[in-house]
Structures are given as C-alpha cells and as structure tokens.
Amino acid sequence: MSDATDIKAEKIKNRGNQLLKQGDKKGAIELYSQALREHIHNIKLKASILSNRAHVYIERGNYIDALKDCQTVLSLDNRHIKAVYRAAKACNRLKKWVDAINYCEIGLSLDHTNIAIIRLHEEASKMQTLDNRKHHVPEVKSRKDWIKLSQSQKMSFPLYLRIALNEQYCTKTNCSQVTKNYVLSTELL
C-alpha cells in the first residue's frame, strides 16, 4: 500500500479488529465505518473492511446492513468467500431461504469443501422446505370442514380466501360474503 489514505484506513481497521477481539462490537463498527470514509484505493482493503463490518453487524443482529455490506464486497470481488458466507448467513437470519441457498451455492462453487457453507446450505434448504409446507393449502372436503379449519387455525385472510377460491365457495358474486364470513369467524375466536 503506497497511498497514505490506504495506510491510514489499514491502521483504523486494525484498531477496529482489536476492539472486536476485546468484545467492543459497537466500537469496532464505528472504526470500520471511519476507515471506509477514507478514500481507499486498494480494493482488497476496502472489501476486507466491509466484510469485517458485515461480520460484526451479524453478531449484533443487524442482518440487513450486513447483507448490504456483503453485496458491496461482492461487487468489488465476486470471489470473496467470507462475504459470500456472511451474505448467506444474513439471508438465513432474515428467512430469505432462496437467497441464502443461492449464496451458499456460489460459495460452494468457490470452495466445495467449506463445512460452514455446507451446513448453512443444509439449514436453509431444510427451512425452505418447512416454510413451503407451512404455506400449503390444506385439503377441505366440505363447507363445514372449511369453516372449522378457518376457526381452529386462525388463518390469515389471504389463506382463507385462497381456500375459499380453491373449494369454489368464493365466486365473483359471493366473494364479499366470504369476506364477511372471515370477519365473523375471527370475531368468534
């Protein structure tokens, strides 16, 4: 690093790393942000600082900002394995299963032996499957079953309406009645 601003940013980053080791996550984020305000010319240094800040954001539960930092890193260096892993982890915490799986697959294309990414891929795939099952429309054989199901599961209106449409209890002419039935059934609960 020959540029003075890069040297200054590197020193600030190292101080941030020290704070992180001491458990001061907020201080580390502040120093990483300060380092990023320098006019950094070294792309690897900038990617490293962003990736470190993303790591701390994840540790603090700020998954949206972590994902943004990871995406910025990947725009600078699309082979940055830590940024790929952290993006997948942030997506996983945000319950964005498809995105998490996609980031994991990118990571596995870069390093197919990375155990952390393999485990994260398995977890996201499992959660996506469970989530898909949760949104599955249950089979209803009679109007009585349909009303019972809506009352027992305290289902949301979109799901209630979807079942009604699937079971053809809701047509263009009686859809307003189905809406009234939903409101009445939720008031009874």
Low-confidence ranges of the chain (pLDDT < 50): 1, 155-158, 161-163, 165-176, 178-180, 182-189
pLDDT recorded at residue 165: 47
**Vertex 114, ends 108 and 64: CA angle to 5°?**
70
d(CA 177, CA 147): 13
Residues 126-162 as b/e (b if ≥16 CB within 10 A, e otherwise) read: eebeeeeeeeeeeebeeeeebeebbeeeebeeebbbe
Please tell me the predicted confidence (pLDDT) of residue 144.
64
Element (H, E) at 73: helix 63-76
Q: Are 171 and 142 in contact (CB under 8 A)?
A: no
pLDDT at 101: 92
